[in-house]
Chain A
Amino acid sequence: MGSVRLIARLDIKAPNLIKGIHLEGLRVVGDPSEHARRYYEAGADELLYMDIVASLYERNSLEDLVRRTANDIFIPMTVGGGVRSIKDVDTLLRAGADKIAINTAAVRRPELITEVARHFGSQCMVVSIEAKRRRGGVGWEAYTDNGREHTGLDVIEWARRAQDLGAGEVLLTSVDQEGTRKGFDVELCRAVSSAVGIPVIASGGMGTVEHAVEVATGSEVSAVAMAHVLHYGIVGFPEVRGALNAVGVRTRVP
């Protein structure tokens, strides 16, 4: 198994860093730049900025924030939300993003994944999948627009197809677990990470250090996204690293 990354996830409703439950019911947390800087200094392996209202307005508003962040934060930065075209990707990469996460536009037109991968390389094409457990509990369906819109796509099949189209990574958000602090959907993470050969980021539900251990040992995910636990100072990176290392999971040595 490779090394597991600890990602600080910052959901943005411009100009604020916000946090919701099940990707809804948003609360303002504070200034995204300040939080990003604090997480960098505290040892985050990566930043993930998601413009969570962008799909609604069909544009990503994070270019300035990304540019400011890139000035003095020296870890990889993934940006998503409302990215629809090669031009959008180019704009955000030029602003300083390293990877771009795409959900809605890729569902509407899966060839976009291939186009982005060809243009900029697979390494910066992250397919973002919002997964909700199907009624009856068998399997998961992919959603868009913060878990509001059905796509009819089976999450595992969609992840595989995205990989075949050229995606370099999967950002896998459990809509059911997101904001609950009750832990990741480990079964979902296991199903997707064993179905694809590209790295999978587990997102949604982290409330304690043990949750990170559960998903890192119970699935083959390559990264764990942390939001609430960071925003409210509940868990720190060294603590999570220590717990993961103690069960034999490799992490960055800062």
Chain B
Amino acid sequence: MSKVAVVDYGLGNLRSVAHGLEHCGGEVSLVSEAAAIRDAHRLVLPGVGAFENGMAGLRERGLVEALLDVAASGRPMMGICLGMQMLLDRSHEFGLFDGLGLIPGEVVPVPPVDAQGRPHRIPIIGWYELSPPDDGPAFAADGILAGCRPGRSCYFVHSFMARTIDPADVAAVIDYNGVAVPAAVQRGKVIGCQFHPEKSGPVGLDILRRFLAMEA
């Protein structure tokens, strides 16, 4: 059993994430205090909703420093959806708000038009195929998607997306009507999934398993 702490900061449904991790053999605890976060072997930062509320939830509970400490110590950390977006420096959702700054870059709106300049549906809701960012044949061998066959779909619900400064921090992209949208980011053991691995069927569960297997 691999111990994993899921950060509870008052936002979103933790049940699905916890069940998904348990299903994959994780020994899950919900943590909402800085001390418990600092003790965690590995962390999942879930979240649904607005960026500002998410960061406020972390700050009010005094969790920001603890999260930064865990990341600095090299223990695995996975942000999911809003949790991924909060890993970046800042977000432009409903204003300009600072994030955790663990992955250099910003959170910006998904472009409102497709590759031909025609308006397309936002939010992105649905299943889209993960591809390596450079259109290469495989995902990075040392990344969260190592061994995952490109071209399988995960479930997305979002209208903002990561724009990293270093392209090497993007672990996977999807093609949304000709627009490349980052699907996963990774810098060392700090990982972010824009999709919901806990809602992406067997493909998503495999990603959670890989996360649980990362050396803590």
Contacts and interface: CB of A to CB of B under 8 A. Distances in A.
B92 interface: no
B11 to A, nearest CB: 10
B29 interface: no
Interface in A87-131: 93-98, 120-124
Interface in B155-180: 155, 157-158, 176-177
B172 to A, nearest CB: 14
Interface in B35-83: 48-50
A169 B15 contact: no
A98 B125 contact: no
Interface stretch (A57-65, A66-74, A184-192, A208-216): A66-74
A253 B127 CA distance: 8
Interface in B117-151: 119-129, 151
B121 A2 contact: yes
B201 A70 contact: no
A3 B48 contact: no
Contacts of B201: 40, 43, 74-75, 254
Contacts of B10: none
Interface residues of A, number: 36
B120 A2 contact: yes
A71 B19 contact: yes
Interface stretch (B1-9, B95-103, B183-191, B202-210): B202-210
A168 B126 contact: no
Contacts of B122: 197
A198 B121 contact: yes
Q: Chain B: interface secondary structure? A: mixed
B26 interface: no
A254 B125 contact: no
A83 to B, nearest CB: 16
A254 B49 contact: no
A72 B19 contact: yes
Contacts of A75: 155, 199-201
B105 interface: no
A3 B120 CA distance: 12
Contacts of B182: none
Contacts of A4: 126
Interface in A23-81: 40, 43, 45, 70-72, 74-76
Given A3-B127, A253-B152, 9 more contacts: A2-B121, A2-B126, A71-B19, A72-B19, A72-B23, A74-B16, A74-B200, A75-B201, A96-B13
Interface of A: 1-5, 40, 43, 45, 70-72, 74-76, 93-98, 120-124, 168-169, 197-199, 222-223, 251-254
20 contacts: A2-B124, A2-B126, A2-B176, A3-B153, A74-B16, A74-B198, A74-B199, A93-B13, A96-B15, A98-B16, A98-B199, A121-B48, A123-B125, A123-B158, A199-B121, A199-B126, A223-B126, A253-B151, A254-B153, A254-B201
